[in-house]
Structure 1
Amino acid sequence: MKKLQLSFLALSMMGITACSAVPQNQQQVVDQISQFGVQYQVTDNQAASHGVDCAQLGADWASCNRATIRLTNHGPAITSKNWAIYMSNVHETLRVDNDQFKMTHIVGDLTRLEPTDKFTGFAAGATVEIPIVNEYWQLFITDVMPRWYVTAAGASPKIITSTDTENLTDFVMPFGEQWKRTADDKNVLMQPVSRFEKNADIKLLPAVSLRGQITPTPRSVNIHTADVDLSQGVALQLNTLTADQAAAVQQRFALLNIKTNPTGYGIATQIDAARFKGEEAVSGAYQLTITPRGTDIVGYDSAGVFYGLMSLLSLVPAEGKPLIATLEAQDAPRFAYRGAFLDVARNFHSKQAVLSMLDQMAAWKMNKFHFHLSDDEGWRIEIPGLPELTEVGSKRCHDMDEQRCLVPQLGSGPFSDNNGSGYFSRADYIDIVKYAQARNIEVIPEIDMPAHARAAVIAMEARYNTLMKAGKTREASEFRLVDPTDTSNTTSVQLYDRTSYLNPCLDSSQRFVDKVIGEIQRMHREAGQPLNTWHFGGDEAKNIRLGAGYTDISNPEAGKGVLDQSKEDKPWAKSQVCQALVKSGKVQDLEHLPSHFALEVSQLVKAHGIPVMQAWQDGLKDAANAQAFATSRTRVNFWDTLYWGGFDSANDWTQKNYDVIISNPDYVYMDFPYEVNPLERGYYWGTRYSDERKMFSFAPDNLPQNAETSVDRDGNAFTTTSEKPWGGAYGLSAQLWSETVRTDQQMEYMIFPRLLSVAERSWHRASWELDYQQGRNFKGGETQHVNQKQLKRDWQRFANLLGQRELGKMDKAGIHYRLPVPGARILEGKLEMNVALPGLPLQYSLDNGNSWLDYNPQDRPEIGVNDKVMVRSQSPDGTRISRVEAL
């Protein structure tokens, strides 16, 4: 600010003032501001403890943070007030502490920074500081979104170049000590020394100890001494599989450099359900016998044959001679539902990235692909007859009227040339379903409703406006998703207004849903996989400003954000059609509307011949039980956070006869960071980290047990006891929401390799997992029901399999998985390094990264007092490195 004031003082002395300055061409102003330097710095994540009245600012749970925006003008002075900078601000700005500027929330995360009447201009070469106060915290760098852009009346928008990057450190300053949510945050910041301590109990195992280890772990295996060499190729007998399944198997053999050869090592397959008894008489069960003379695979069904072949291939090393152990294995899946969820709505991910993900799921025997195709930020599938869904709803651009596209969100900027925009054509989707079907994976499409529906709502409004202009009144209203009488003031969890919710009381909403289900069903039929499960969505149909973290100005409660809640409405509160529906008695009240709509949609799902409906738990919570729905089965993705009571509330769903898919955020959300370090990617409302080890250690069928093996969001131990009966989990699913995941490489970084830990838990029940016992108490750090030695041994084996074998296979597949940053310390003048996944190559540098040396634990290098040591891990194929850190 001093630079700015001095510059204008100098101008005044020369007789030039902002008021007398010649008006500037607006495009020139936009072009010049687009070259500004931008710095964003988080300055205080505990602002409520340091003099800021977060409660009076209306912050949820009275929590807010301070940050500073610095804008540096590298060009001549700018005096125009006719400009605005737009940015994605996922935590709403509550106050601006520079009266020359104001920030206005538009919708979602879109925020506008613009000058006030007190704006005195940007002096040449000056840096302006704009201190702000935001709701909540900013603990990871990905809270700050890229591609800020500037525009003005009559000018074309321009991205501010300094923010046009996926390397956020280019304009986001280091967090320093601002990584704690509260003063008593018990989490441990992951740096080389703390990471070394965390990894210290896991050792590099000799390769011979991994011989014969199948992934995921089979129920039983008997390993023999002889090995089989597959160097001369294999003679595959795949007549038990379809042509597409056989091609998928051959593709995997080829990836691992094993040729097919009619005179090579014989691999025979057959299907014989009679060979399987008891718990092993299920889809996907197999028997695998590997001898020096040949391999026999017997499957309960074709899925079992496929999985037997994947088990054989799991034994093949990533590099070197393709030797596999002779053995016998008997195996069957733990859960019928072994799922992975991918959100392509918040940010789009390419068809190739989806196919690559399906390949990895198949190799690890996962069988459900939950495909999140719509949300507030995007509609991602072509629907014949409703072209506006993709022409408008799949694109983002700077069109504030939203007749051509959705407004920018999540760092997409003002243009449609990035992953903020995109969709799958009908042919693309059919190809994806075919590809999944060939790999024994069911595609479960999700069209989220009635909340998280803004892309559809806006697209159908654009359709309505176009048809009305053409005089086609009936057609215009046919699929309209809003009631024009609804003036409700609502705010969704992601800060959208009432356009986030389609109206569940309209006949046109039901027509829309019926149309979409029918068209997607036709795609599935053409792909050879009839639609078996429809995912309704159903989550978060609420006004967050009426939530538990806020209090009314008339009767304020300590520790909560103070609002005039008389101005806040529940969703659809002012919709005349919804008011009439409630008055008719067909639905109890506004809160019951989402579940009422779910029941209505289940009738449509049944009418289309689809036997199963699935939803997030919020959308079903007011239905009596699973039998209230028209479909033969109803599944629920259970996503209560365990330490906030999920260990107990999960039981209620099994008692109401739902098939419960364990989907807990604090353990199996892959959009959360891998570790507590501000440079990691992800949201963190449920936990500060979930790495491969934490996911591996998750007990999905005995939720209270997890209190002994993990901590809560703030790093504290917690206690669990449930007095309720537990009907057992139907499945386990890992989720990648993509708000902070803008590219395909970022997508793969967040999914892999930790999805493999979820695959292990969904296929195999470990010896350290306990049976659920009603009323049993688990207290972290105190009770000792879990055999921690067994758990450690099991993880050490699995971690070595990943580090020594499986990541090398992902290299061959071109997967951009996350490489763990090494742990490191200097002890008695010598460098020691380790890594979470033993077997990965480790390197260090003593010359600030100009050259790198391989680390050999048998020959620890001497480190001088003044040496600056930098460390990194490397992919097995040597093509990629982890994040570099300095000791």
Structure 2
Amino acid sequence: MLTRKCVLSAVIATIFMSASALADQQVIDQLSHLGVRVAVKDNLAAQHGVNCAALGADWGACYQATITLTNPGAALQSHDWAIWFSGIRQVLATGNDQFKITHIVGDLHKIEPTAAFRGFPSGGSVVLPVVNEYWQLSLTDVLPRWYVTSSQGTPKVITATVTEKLSDITTLPATQWKRTPDDANILMTAENRYLKNQATSPVSAAELRGRILPSPRRVDITADNVSLKQGIAADLRVLPADSARVITEEFRAAGLRTGGRFPVNTAIDPAGFTDEGVKEGAYRLRISQERAVITGYDSRGVFNGLQSLMQLIPPMGEPVIPVMSLSDAPRFAYRAVFIDVARNFHSKAAILRTLQQMSRYKLNILHLHLSDDEGWRIEIPGLPELTSVGAKRCHDLSETRCLLPQLGSGPDTSTTGSGYFSRQDYIEILRYARARQITVIPEIDMPAHARAAVIAMEARYKNLMAAGKVREANQYRLQEDGDDSRVTTVQFYDRTSFINPCLPSAQRFVRKIMNELIAMHREAGQPLETWHFGGDEAKNIYSGPGYTDKNHPQPGKGQRDLSLQDKPWAKSASCRQRIQQGEAGDFTQLPGWFALQVSQWAKSAGLKNMQAWQDGLKAIPSAGQFATETVALNFWDTLYWGGVNSASEWAEKGYRIIISSPDYLYLDMPYEVDPQEPGYYWATRFTDEQKIFTFSPDNLAMNAETSTDRDGKAFSATGQGSWPGAAGMSAQLWSEIVRTDEQMEYRLYPRLLAVAERAWHQADWELPGQQGQAFEKGKTRQVNQQQLQADWNRFATLLGRSVLPGLDTAGIRYRIPVAGARIRNGVLEANTSLPGIRIEYSVDEGQHWRNYQPQQPPAVAGKVLVRTRSPDGRRSGRVVSLQAG
């Protein structure tokens, strides 16, 4: 009888649970149809009566917004639900007692009903006023894929938020584009864009004849031509076999027969290169009526010369090239593209397309950011949890199956929040790069920005402990029991963002990862020589200068209870012991101490170089303390915040400086000052092709004369005599809000061509650095602006007429420049930043589009739409609207 009662109770419980789960799912299903709208009300809340400092805002900066939830269905009274969303700003206060917002971890937040919740009325809306830290100046500050949970139901995305067109879910009034009242940036309206574009004058086809990108050092072009109509006979024996295959394929893709008549001879002669600063990759190209001869300093030089020859072949029409000669060598030996695949994953296909374009334009380093808080993206034999848990994001509060959602990835693994390169994928990328004379540098970020690894290894620990395998469980654990340090990172993670560097198990983990990556590179035929340690932002954000203790407040700073905040690892017994033993001076020196340990392991593993982001090495007085032969750092101080001086200070310590300045070289920043333009903007409000083109990486002070700070204001900088010049240059694409491959290519191109130009070629208008030489926009007149403008005109016209058609052919989804336009006396005037791009206009709300002819500008009336179009005619740029009279 007792058994029957137990069975009956179990059946009843199951039925009850099923009924409960069904009810929960019905709540989720209904709420998944909510309308969602985030609207900015006041980006200058501190100036309009809100005490942002008392709310804890960094430097007392906050903004007011509203979240409106609209219910299109039947009324819903349930209190058993939560709406989860990603928000890159901290919520400081809420203004509707029916709801509470809780910060979970990173950018993940949760909206829940309170006891005062009165339900979602049928066909009605509820409004949740919020005060958030900082400001929202771009539509892309709001992230997609909000989702709903309810007890036992399956989480579901709110349909309205499944969009990459973020204007669908956010409203940013035209007046709310300034960060401060005295923001001096120029908003890019159609009219302002037209005025800006007017400074660029197209260069004639005759002037562009024989010109390539990046610009060679010396060029001599004759009036004669040679036809390649009968094909070429290229002798590629001096190249590695895989590189020779690449060149052959690319000649064929250019429409040339490779078993033809015109000889292309190649040779390697290092003794013939005596006047070039950087010899690796240097070459000479001679084209006569009889043959082309390419002589390289090394095989990379020959490869570069062949790429230059291919650029001379017209994309359409008869393959005729000039009789000419050029002598060329790179400005920097290190010319890099950095791609973050950790925050959002980008496909192997997209990486291969990037490598193809890098080789064409002589960029030779691909720096892959393979790990961060939000994802681990490389398969490591023996540690499957790194990808089975750390490469996935989903709604699992235990985080034993995946990481919690971040950056708008939603509640399941179907988006680019999840993904990784298998071991074979990575080896294929390496081989593809090797064939194109490109070196791949993998970065495993540590000890901060490591949450994906930490959580994955915790899942491993729990599984093995449950199986009674205590020794194996502790073998690679990255956290320490008893360390409950209260830390808030820059991206609002807690202590799980940090590898504990003091643990022997963490040290074993690093050596394991290092050895496995070395093995992959060896198998791919591209031996690993550089270990990129990462090292950045290992700190508590509340220790920054914009915050103050609320018990002893300082004016203008965010007031926080700093007694509730610790330094990283402050409560780690292992780290305290190492400090007491004198291995590190204090907790703030632990990242640097760890970097030195890693350099020892790198040397023991046969690696020559160590590399890091500069702030990870700030506690180390000299590069000479590292075990590796050289130490390079990615320099990412903004120039207007003292970067000119700090670059010199780092160089004096013996580091090789890779210029990675965020105000010029972070390609996740917007192209222009326009809320519709995607991108973060903490370092600058805009970075377009022209700004990168005018960047001077060797004379950093000079940039103060050619650009402005983040607020569009002039800043001053003075040359430092101890500055030896840069060792290299790197463009960065961070992927927090770059969710798709298409968005990645939009951010990269065509700006990457300007990066290639400056990394390879030092322009005549760039001034040599001089100690004490001061620069400031609008005050000094040392840069030859006429020479600079003429050089830009050439470059911009080449981009518009030659490069973009090639990107079309390669299937690259680059950004098509937005048209500038104005109406004067009833006549439409339009232009683009890159001459040669077709412009179209419509006078009937886009039903019909007409080609714009600048020689015969049309008379218009009423509303006019204007857009640009890609050279192949398949895509159009963003539409701008004007009103005539």
TM range (shorter): over 0.9
Q: Does 2:199 match 1:201? A: yes
Q: Match for residue 881 of structure 1? A: 876
Q: Match for residue 845 of structure 1? A: 842
Amino acid at match of 1:92: Q
Work out whether residues 77 and 123 of structure 1, in 8 Å CA contact, stay in contact via their aligned partners in 2. Answer: yes
- Structure 2 residue aligned with 1:557, among 554, 557, 575? 554
Within-5 A mapping of 1:160-239: 160-239=158-237
Within-5 A mapping of 1:268-347: 268-279=265-276, 282-347=279-344
Q: Match for residue 819 of structure 1? A: 816
Q: Match for residue 851 of structure 2? A: 854
Amino acid at match of 2:865: M
CA distance in 2, matches of 1:615, 1:313: 36
In structure 2, relative to structure 1, the CA distance for the partners of 1:223 and 1:558 (3 Å cut) is same
> Which sits farther off after the overlay, 106-115 or 267-276?
267-276
CA distance in 1, matches of 2:776, 2:206: 38
- Residue 205 of structure 1 deviates from its aligned partner by 2.1
Q: Does 2:613 match 1:619? A: no
- Residue 259 of structure 1 deviates from its aligned partner by 2.9
CA distance in 2, matches of 1:766, 1:204: 19
Show structure 2 runs of 5+ residues with no match.
Answer: 1-19
Within-5 A mapping of 1:634-713: 634-713=631-710
Amino acid at match of 2:102: T
- Residue 176 of structure 1 deviates from its aligned partner by 1.6
TM-score w.r.t. length of structure 2: 0.97
Work out whether residues 318 and 806 of structure 1, in 8 Å CA contact, stay in contact via their aligned partners in 2. Answer: no
- Residue 280 of structure 1 deviates from its aligned partner by 5.3
- Residue 281 of structure 1 deviates from its aligned partner by 6.5
Q: Match for residue 157 of structure 2? A: 159
CA distance in 1, matches of 2:638, 2:131: 28
- Residue 232 of structure 1 deviates from its aligned partner by 3.0
- Residue 254 of structure 1 deviates from its aligned partner by 2.9
CA distance in 1, matches of 2:89, 2:256: 51
CA distance in 1, matches of 2:51, 2:784: 47
CA distance in 1, matches of 2:238, 2:490: 49
Q: Match for residue 108 of structure 2? A: 110
Amino acid at match of 1:331: D
Within-5 A mapping of 1:254-265: 254-260=252-258, 262-265=259-262
Q: Match for residue 388 of structure 1? A: 385
Work out whether residues 202 and 794 of structure 2, in 8 Å CA contact, stay in contact via their aligned partners in 1. Answer: no
Work out whether residues 80 and 151 of structure 2, in 8 Å CA contact, stay in contact via their aligned partners in 1. Answer: yes
- Structure 2 residue aligned with 1:597, among 582, 588, 594? 594
> Which sits farther off after the overlay, 740-749 or 229-238?
229-238
Q: Match for residue 870 of structure 1? A: 865
- Residue 267 of structure 1 deviates from its aligned partner by 1.1
Q: Match for residue 19 of structure 1? A: none
In structure 1, the residue corresponding to 2:615 is in which secondary structure?
A: helix
In structure 2, the residue corresponding to 1:371 is in which secondary structure?
A: strand
Work out whether residues 278 and 332 of structure 2, in 8 Å CA contact, stay in contact via their aligned partners in 1. Answer: no
In structure 2, relative to structure 1, the CA distance for the partners of 1:819 and 1:155 (3 Å cut) is same
Q: Match for residue 372 of structure 2? A: 375
CA distance in 2, matches of 1:360, 1:836: 22
Work out whether residues 21 and 153 of structure 2, in 8 Å CA contact, stay in contact via their aligned partners in 1. Answer: no
Within-5 A mapping of 1:426-445: 426-445=423-442
Amino acid at match of 2:50: V
Work out whether residues 337 and 730 of structure 1, in 8 Å CA contact, stay in contact via their aligned partners in 2. Answer: yes
Work out whether residues 65 and 136 of structure 1, in 8 Å CA contact, stay in contact via their aligned partners in 2. Answer: yes
In structure 2, the residue corresponding to 1:25 is in which secondary structure?
A: helix
Amino acid at match of 1:869: V
CA distance in 2, matches of 1:188, 1:169: 22
Q: Does 2:396 match 1:403? A: no
CA distance in 2, matches of 1:429, 1:207: 42
CA distance in 1, matches of 2:731, 2:575: 36
CA deviations on 1:687-735 (whole Å, 9 max, x unpaired) are 0010000000000001000000000000000111144511210000000
Work out whether residues 280 and 331 of structure 1, in 8 Å CA contact, stay in contact via their aligned partners in 2. Answer: no
CA deviations on 1:16-59 (whole Å, 9 max, x unpaired) are xxxxxx99921111100001111111111111111111101101
Aligned length: 863
- Structure 2 residue aligned with 1:577, among 561, 574, 585? 574
Amino acid at match of 1:307: N
In structure 1, the residue corresponding to 2:878 is in which secondary structure?
A: coil
Amino acid at match of 1:117: A
In structure 2, the residue corresponding to 1:227 is in which secondary structure?
A: strand
Q: Match for residue 11 of structure 2? A: none
Amino acid at match of 1:833: A
Work out whether residues 214 and 312 of structure 1, in 8 Å CA contact, stay in contact via their aligned partners in 2. Answer: no
- Structure 2 residue aligned with 1:714, among 704, 711, 715? 711
In structure 1, the residue corresponding to 2:83 is in which secondary structure?
A: strand
- Structure 1 residue aligned with 2:768, among 748, 752, 771? 771
- Residue 483 of structure 1 deviates from its aligned partner by 1.1
- Residue 175 of structure 1 deviates from its aligned partner by 3.1
In structure 2, relative to structure 1, the CA distance for the partners of 1:41 and 1:63 (3 Å cut) is same
> Which sits farther off after the overlay, 534-543 or 126-135?
126-135
CA distance in 1, matches of 2:323, 2:720: 47
Q: Does 2:346 match 1:349? A: yes
- Structure 2 residue aligned with 1:831, among 828, 831, 845? 828
Q: Match for residue 744 of structure 2? A: 747
Q: Match for residue 75 of structure 2? A: 77
In structure 1, the residue corresponding to 2:588 is in which secondary structure?
A: helix
In structure 1, the residue corresponding to 2:806 is in which secondary structure?
A: helix
CA distance in 1, matches of 2:580, 2:277: 53
TM-score w.r.t. length of structure 1: 0.96
CA distance in 2, matches of 1:469, 1:536: 33
CA deviations on 1:765-805 (whole Å, 9 max, x unpaired) are 00111111111111111101111111111111000000000
Work out whether residues 271 and 301 of structure 1, in 8 Å CA contact, stay in contact via their aligned partners in 2. Answer: yes
CA distance in 2, matches of 1:255, 1:811: 13
CA distance in 1, matches of 2:274, 2:65: 63
CA distance in 1, matches of 2:361, 2:819: 26
Show structure 1 runs of 5+ residues with no match.
Answer: 1-21
CA distance in 1, matches of 2:370, 2:193: 37
CA distance in 2, matches of 1:412, 1:23: 25
- Structure 1 residue aligned with 2:525, among 523, 528, 534? 528
CA distance in 2, matches of 1:757, 1:665: 15
Give the aligned CA root-mean-square deviation in angstroms. 1.2
Amino acid at match of 2:467: A
Work out whether residues 175 and 678 of structure 1, in 8 Å CA contact, stay in contact via their aligned partners in 2. Answer: no
In structure 2, relative to structure 1, the CA distance for the partners of 1:24 and 1:71 (3 Å cut) is farther
Q: Match for residue 43 of structure 1? A: 41
Share of identical aligned residues, percent? Answer: 57
- Residue 218 of structure 1 deviates from its aligned partner by 0.5
- Structure 1 residue aligned with 2:444, among 409, 426, 447? 447
Work out whether residues 721 and 769 of structure 2, in 8 Å CA contact, stay in contact via their aligned partners in 1. Answer: no
CA distance in 1, matches of 2:203, 2:766: 24
- Residue 340 of structure 1 deviates from its aligned partner by 0.6
In structure 1, the residue corresponding to 2:397 is in which secondary structure?
A: coil
CA distance in 2, matches of 1:253, 1:854: 34
CA distance in 2, matches of 1:676, 1:820: 13
- Residue 61 of structure 1 deviates from its aligned partner by 0.8
- Residue 233 of structure 1 deviates from its aligned partner by 2.1
Within-5 A mapping of 1:117-132: 117-132=115-130
CA distance in 2, matches of 1:23, 1:223: 77
CA distance in 2, matches of 1:810, 1:500: 39
Work out whether residues 101 and 114 of structure 1, in 8 Å CA contact, stay in contact via their aligned partners in 2. Answer: yes
Work out whether residues 256 and 809 of structure 1, in 8 Å CA contact, stay in contact via their aligned partners in 2. Answer: no
CA distance in 2, matches of 1:278, 1:843: 49
Amino acid at match of 2:532: H
Work out whether residues 227 and 326 of structure 1, in 8 Å CA contact, stay in contact via their aligned partners in 2. Answer: yes
In structure 2, relative to structure 1, the CA distance for the partners of 1:276 and 1:723 (3 Å cut) is closer
